[in-house]
Amino acid sequence: IADEEGMAALSMRAVGERLGRTAMALYTHVPGKSELLDLMYDAVHAELPSAYPESESDDWRAPLTAWAGEVLEFYVRHPWVLQVSQARPVL
């Protein structure tokens, strides 16, 4: 929902409907929207390139450009991530 329609469209009710359930049924598994956002962030964060790729070449620009392109593609796929606080306690 957040990827397709943005954060304004994201609600417990909307997620429940998308899953063919009620919002109340969703609360059995996720205590609230804040926790839902944490789970969503954790799920998509695995797609983010974790480290600058090492290269055998002296040309640092090519791998850096490729890495930056992957990061940009991530944020294009998941623009809502920029609206979610990434400053969270370590779980």
The model's pLDDT over 8-50, given as tens digits with 9 standing for 90+, comes to 999 999 999 999 999 999 999 999 998 999 899 989 988 887 7
Position 63 scores a pLDDT of 83
Question: Between 48 and 53, whose confidence is greater?
Answer: 48
Q: Where are the alpha helices (DSSP H) in 28-91?
A: 33-45, 61-77
What 3 state SS string does 58-69 have?
CCCHHHHHHHHH
- Kindly report the number of other CB atoms within 10 A of residue 81's CB atom: 20
d(CA 47, CA 72): 12
